[in-house]
Structure 1
Amino acid sequence: MQIRASIKVQRPGDAKAKLETIAKGLRGPSKVKVGFPAGKAPGDLISIAYWNHFGTSRGIPPRPFITTAMFKGRGELRSFITAEAKKIVFAGNPTPMRYALQNLGMKGQDMVQMQILSNMPPPNAPSTVQQKGSSRTLVDTGRLVGSVTWAIDTKL
């Protein structure tokens, strides 16, 4: 995604100072991971999320909740990223990128959690409904939805 910006110069030297402020705000991490980042979610839950997302050859159908959430919300995410980029350009704060990534992480977390709670098709097998006592897909104890999180990727 490309972001365009324009700067209005009021006095000579303003453009350089503004560009330096923007460059300062863009230093540091530039990625955020949403879902079940390593070190933030229990290992067994990462496996549960993986097998539910991709399915198995032994009867668990794929329910790609992360991919679906991001695909459905792509327009909303694009608008959100644009708004955060504008804040970075116009902020006097030297660390706006970190705030933008935090906000984006929380937004993505919410989107994934809402997708999990949406009762994604296909429906549970009758044996699963009997075992769980519920026909709700992807939700049993609530651990999966409660463990969705985000982390700023500090690898540059």
Structure 2
Amino acid sequence: MKLDTSALSRGPNRVKVGFPAGKAGADIVQRAIWNHFGTSGGGWGGPIPERPFLHNAMADHRSEYRGHMRKSAAKILKGQTALQTVLSKLGVLAQGHIQGEITNLSSPPNSPVTVERKGSSNPLIDTGEMRQAVTWKVDDA
């Protein structure tokens, strides 16, 4: 059997998921950074605790992503699908996982001041803008 490896050396070869450059506004990216890594300064109710939603989503689904890539590898080498197609599907899958983590994360909880200000106890959702901005991008290394 002859394997076509030429497609592996050209074109897009990775997928970025979350808030890739050029896909989200700076204000949303800043908000994501503050929430993911936390802050030491004050805010509405004091420092923002670390809520690593990106890391959690990726770590919780790592074996699933590897499984998808493992199943797709033979199809790519046989010319039955393109790497870009596989990476796009992986991007959509990971986007959903990150958005789900944003929706479901509950700890550490918001401070009482923050809950009162925004009217919700969901730590990562105020307007839903950050969750909606999660996306993916297939590109070259």
State the TM-score, normalized to the length of structure 2: 0.89
Q: Which amino acid aligns with 1:71?
A: A
| TM-aligned CA deviation for residue 133 of structure 1 | 0.3
Task: Spell out the pairing of 1:1-150 with structure 2 (5 A cutoff).
Answer: 15=1, 18-19=2-3, 21=4, 23-26=5-8, 27-58=10-41, 59-93=47-81, 96-150=82-136
Larger radius of gyration: 1
Q: Which amino acid aligns with 1:81?
A: M
SS in 2 for 1:117: helix
SS of 1:152's partner is strand
Aligned pair count reads 135
Cα deviation per residue 1:12-49 (whole Å; 9 max; x = unaligned)?
Answer: xxx3xx22x2x133232211100000100011100000
- Pairwise CA distance, 1:55: 0.3
Tell me which residue corresponds to 1:7: none
Q: Which runs of 5+ in 1 are unaligned?
A: 1-14
- Conserved in 2, the CA contact under 8 Å of 1:63 and 1:120? no
